Structure 1
Amino acid sequence: MSTTDTLEQAVEVKDLTRRERVVLANLSEEATLEQIAAKLFVTRNTVKSQVRSVYRKIGVSTRADAVRWAREAGIQA
């Protein structure tokens, strides 16, 4: 069993709030927090807080891992 399989079993998409799913869907290697904030009409700090919450819930510590988790969970912008 891979680490990703373990993470997917630990948390499901339904465990994230609607807004966390939206932020996660907009998180990509290219998008800055400022760009995501502007798109969602919130501040950079709001996005930063939501990203931290997502990382904690899905058990990752990097953007690349979060993006990978989102893709495997079927979350896309």
Structure 2
Amino acid sequence: MSQILTLELNDKVFAAIQKQAQNIGIPPESLAANLLEQKLSQIDNFLLTETEKQSRRAKFERHFGTLDFGCIVDLDN
């Protein structure tokens, strides 16, 4: 689901967004939306409760493990 939000930016900020968007080949509104989503997800992670942090860490740690290649592997190869 998406919503439309109208923002008023100063010329300097808009020029920076427009330049970066042009460099990567996307519309400036897409870049602005992506930047805003990334920043808000960082803030959201910061505001998690301790229980939510522990739950996410447990999910991440399920990927931990060891590798057994069946032979000796040395990092000096």
- Bin of the TM-score, shorter chain as denominator length: 0.3 to 0.5
Q: TM-score, normalised by structure 1?
A: 0.36
Q: Which has the larger radius of gyration?
A: 2
- Kindly indicate whether structure 1 or structure 2 has the higher relative contact order, using CA contacts under 8 Å at least 6 residues apart: 1
